[in-house]
Amino acid sequence: MVMTLVGSPSNAQNAGLRGKVEIDGSSTVFPITEAAAAQFNKRYPNVTVNVGVSGTGGGFKRFTKGETDISDASRPIKASEFEATKAANLPFFEIPVAYDGLTLVIHKENDWVDYLTLDEIKKIFTTEGNAKTWSQVRTGWPDTEIQIFAPGTDSGTFDYFKEVVAGKSGSLREDMSTSEDDNVLVTGVSGSPNAIGFFGVAYYTENKDKLNSVPVLNPELSEPVSSTPEAIENGSYSPFSRPLFIYVNAKSFSRPEVRQFVGFYLASAAKLAPSTGYVALPASVYQEARKRCLGRLTGTHYLTKSMEKRTGSVTDVYQTKNLIK
């Protein structure tokens, strides 16, 4: 008998499969998971898939209690959460599903910002930088007050931006207008010529007529790069492109309905990511993820043995040699 790895699922409907898949977690990953669940339910109408939006941290809280089968995450698992899975004896598969590009946006009438360097972004967003006016960011820019709009502090988006811009010990300034609802940020930035804000690339793509995106200077290429799908995929939109994950409870994975769902998700993620405003990962990453599930290789790639965070592009980090249990 010949067994081969499969890439795409067939489309025949199967009413025989039963069961329930409980998913919770990041609202950023939600649209992809929802799309996967909706398509999956067309094929397996009798499997109940419930998807919640408790946020990345809230999702992991339920995941580490064994309440959910899959956790959506817009950042890799944290050391404390990883310890919790170990304490609860819950091995898991770490599966990247798509890229998101954090996009900095400004008002349409803002004609002075051509691009920003990471240092300038630090000046605007961190407590240490604390720039009050645009002229404090770069000489020659107008002496008008900057208004900053940022996602809510509970979101994985905020966490990721904070880590890139302020580092582990630093903090983002507190006099920003924050909202859990990114549409509020869109309205905020499009309402003031002196405003700047950031959120996932999907919100920029839908509001291109109201906002301009700010290219970010890539430190290695020393040239400004915009958050286009190509730049996000080839890694040149650095350091603001980030992978999105699903974490699968390995015990649940032995249930046929969960196994089918994860297989379906992986096979269709490359198609679903662009349809929901995200960017597909390289095919090799999905192939790697398939190997994790098939070989029952549990654990995370984003922590080292000493529980330090591992950073880098997905293709570099997501390798078997980096896997720790």
Partner 1 sequence: MSDSASNDTLTSQESPSPAERATLVGGRRRMSTDRWFQRLCIATAAASVMVLVFLLASILVEGIPALTSTLVLGTPEPNPDEAGMWPAITGTLWVCSLCALISLPLGIGTAVLLEEFKPRSKFALRAYQLIQLNISNLAGVPSVVYGILGLTAFVSMFSLFDQVREPGAAAYEIGATYYDQFSNLASDPFLSMGSEEVAERYFFVPVNARTDAPTIPKPGMQALEYVDNVLVPVEVTVTDPFDAPAEPEALSYAIDINAVPGRISEKNWYYFRLPFGRGVLAGALTLMLVILPVVIISAQEALRAVPSSLRDGALGIGATPWQVVWNVTLPASIPGIMTGSILAMSRAIGETAPILIIAGIVYIRNSPHHLMDSYTVMPLQIYNWTSRPQEEFHQIAAGGIILLLAILMTFNAVAVLIRHRMHKQQV
**Residues interacting with partner 1, by CB under 8 A?**
1-6, 9-10, 12, 14-20, 24, 27, 30-31, 33-35, 37-38, 41, 46, 48-54, 65-67, 180-183, 200, 202-203, 205-207, 254-260, 262-264, 267, 275-277, 290, 293-294
- CA–CA gap between residue 80 and residue 32 (Å, rounded): 26
* Minimum CB distance to partner 1 smaller for 275 or for 311: 275
**Least distance CB 294 / partner 1 (angstroms):** 5
Determine whether 102 is exposed, middle or buried from the number of CB atoms within 10 Å of its CB (0-12, 13-18, 19+). Answer: buried
Backbone phi and psi for residue 93, each to the nearest 5 degrees, phi listed first? -100, 135
Contacts of 284 (CB under 8 A, 6+ apart): 315
**Least distance CB 207 / partner 1 (angstroms):** 7
- CA–CA gap between residue 166 and residue 171 (Å, rounded): 6
Mutual angle of helices 156-166 and 55-64, in 10-degree steps: 110
**Least distance CB 318 / partner 1 (angstroms):** 17
* Minimum CB distance to partner 1 smaller for 51 or for 146: 51
* Minimum CB distance to partner 1 smaller for 8 or for 130: 8
* Minimum CB distance to partner 1 smaller for 23 or for 303: 23
Q: Is the peptide bond before 239 cis (omega within 30 degrees of 0)?
A: yes
Contacts of 63 (CB under 8 A, 6+ apart): 24, 25, 70, 71, 85, 90, 92, 247, 249
* Minimum CB distance to partner 1 smaller for 172 or for 258: 258
**Least distance CB 67 / partner 1 (angstroms):** 6
* Minimum CB distance to partner 1 smaller for 221 or for 294: 294
Q: Return the ∠ at Cα 227 (arms to 225 and 230), rounded to 5°.
A: 90
**Least distance CB 220 / partner 1 (angstroms):** 30
**Least distance CB 15 / partner 1 (angstroms):** 7
